[in-house]
Amino acid sequence: MATSSEHKNAIWIFGDQHRAQALSCNGDPNLTTPNLDRLSSEGQNFERAVCGFPLCCPFRGSLLTSRYPHEAVPGHEYPLPEGMPTIADVFNDHGFDTAYFGKWHLGGFQEREGRAAKMIIPPERRGSFNTWVGYENNNSQWDCWVHGGEGSDAFHHRLPGYETDALTEMLIDYIRKQGEARKSGQGRPFFAALSVQPPHDPYVAPEPWMARHNPAQLIMRPNVPPVARIEAEARRELAGAYAQIENLDWNVGRVRQALVEAGLDLDTHIIFFSDHGDQHGSHGQFRKTAPWEESLRIPFIVGGLQPRYEGRSGRPNAVVNHVDIAPTTLGLCGIDAPEWMRGHDYSGVRLPGRPQAVMPDSAFIQSVIPTGHGDSIDRPWRGIVTREEQPWQARWKYVILEGQPWLLFNLSEDPYELVNLAHNTRYRTERARLQERLSEWLADTGDAFDMPKI
């Protein structure tokens, strides 16, 4: 075990079903997110980040382990494999205190057996965090039950008020205790995660935030079709989702103020992201599991510390994926990722003192086991999203079904994905190149999938 006073702290803050486009700093005119806008301005906004598999459980498995869904959590309500190491194990081994607050969704509970909020995750299945207060799944923001502890110290109770506010209060209390320990000379570096369900449906937030959004006045994305029932549902749900996001933004501000008051603000990285997005009517679709931008792309902002002196700011040309988040977080804290982690460490993009390895040219995306839920893609798919390696090159997305090309978009000229080129002979050379790169991803990760013949 290694400890070091120079290690920085790190905090994850992430919501559920929050698409990348739904931040004012990312260009959405329908909401205001001043605290996240500030985090973006001071830090690095990886505006092309993707979630790898746009579904709660698979993303969370890859987030914690830096392994792809087919290697860890392949579908909805599948558990994190017993004994699989997590990022908390690495931080623990380096002398950090580790804490997790909020939604887990890695216990493998089947909703048909009852309400997942009442399931108790056994201590040995909590990812090795020193402190763990959470729940399996909830979907009821004013009736959120959390549990933790073990033996005579075990507890299970209902949170007061709105979920995001109450869970944030837990993290703030943890920060205060870390600050007190630091002042007494007993402190050690820490890694903490705050996982909240909003802006997941049901799309309802506390009244002050709901009052800010009139569905009829929202500006819709150009790829929401002019179909009355689709637009009406999208407007109604978006108004609530925007309210939830603004509430989450307010809570991010509360966390930053708590760090200032605890004397930890200049020593703590804040990493903000989401597990996946939400179609909200784009392409006539709703919810997640789809490879379109609204479902696939997530916010990913790395900020904190003293930005002028200790970190670069900007919008990097990188396609951060779910498996990259754990290695990057470790790197920000001066720890090299272990060999069993699959992802790329992007900490050198943020910190001048960290090595900058060659960025991956693309991100590998998957739907391994479909959920079969309404408003979902009901068959497996694989794909890649590329980055421009030169300014004149395009960004591409290529997605296949089993044995069949499905989607091909030039994201540089068609960011709303209105023109599918997958079956256009004019683009056969580009399709073949992307097909070959996707085949390499499948081979490199040991993913068996029936590639199409083209």
HEC readout, 12-76: EEEECCCCCCCCHHHCCCCCCCHHHHHHHHHCEECCCCECCCCCHHHHHHHHHHCCCHHHCCCCC
Positive or negative torsion for Cα 69, 71, 75, 76? negative
Rounded to the nearest 5 degrees, what angle is found at the Cα of 125, between the Cα atoms of 121 and 131? 80
Sorted by sequence, the CB contacts under 8 Å of residue 47 that are 6+ apart come out as 20, 26, 300, 315
Provide the token pair at 144: 């959120």
Span of 15-24, 112-121, 205-214 with lowest mean pLDDT? 112-121
pLDDT of residue 312: 74
CB 350 within 8 A of CB 26: no
Asked whether 53 and 367 are in contact (CB, 8 A), the reply is: yes
Order the strands of the 404-410 sheet from edge to edge.
362-367, 381-386, 396-401, 404-410
Alpha-helix runs per DSSP H in 219-359: 228-261, 293-296, 307-310, 325-332, 347-350
Please give the Cα distance from 203 to 184 (Å, whole number): 43
State residue 95's pLDDT score. Answer: 97
Residue 3 — very low, low, confident or very high, per pLDDT cuts 50/70/90?
A: very low
Q: 120-129, 369-378, 411-420: which has the minimum mean pLDDT?
A: 369-378
In the structure, what pLDDT confidence band is assigned to residue 4 with cuts at 50, 70 and 90?
very low
Give me the CATH topology for the region 379-445. Arylsulfatase, C-terminal domain (3.30.1120)
389 falls in which pLDDT band (50, 70, 90)?
A: confident
Mean pLDDT along residues 149-155? 96
> Can you list the alpha helix ranges (DSSP code H) found in 123-227?
163-183, 207-210
Q: How confident is the model at residue 63 (pLDDT cuts 50, 70, 90)?
A: very high
Q: What is the pLDDT of residues 306-320, one digit of tens each?
A: 655 566 789 999 999
What does the alpha-carbon distance between residue 193 and residue 178 come to, in Å, rounded to a whole number? 14
Q: Each residue of 162-173: pLDDT tens digit? A: 999 999 999 999
pLDDT category, 300, cuts 50, 70, 90? very high
Beta-carbon-side half-sphere exposure of residue 79 (alpha carbons within 13 Å): 15
pLDDT band at 352 (very low <50, low <70, confident <90, very high): confident
**Do the domains spanning 9-350 and 379-445 agree at the CATH topology level?**
no
Q: Where are the domains of the chain?
A: 9-350, 379-445
Mean pLDDT of 145-174: 97
Mean of pLDDT values over 185-199? 96
Answer yes or no: is pLDDT of 112 > 90.
no
CATH 3.40.720.10 corresponds to the domain 9-350: yes
- Least Cα distance to 192 among 274, 100, 275, 105 occurs for 100
- pLDDT at residue 106 in the model: 97
Interval 126-147 mean pLDDT: 96
Burial group, residue 375, by CB count within 10 angstroms (0-12, 13-18, 19+)? middle
Question: What is the mean pLDDT of the segment spanning 178-192?
Answer: 94
**9 pairs with which residues across the strands?**
268
Among 361, 358, 321, CA closest to 341: 321
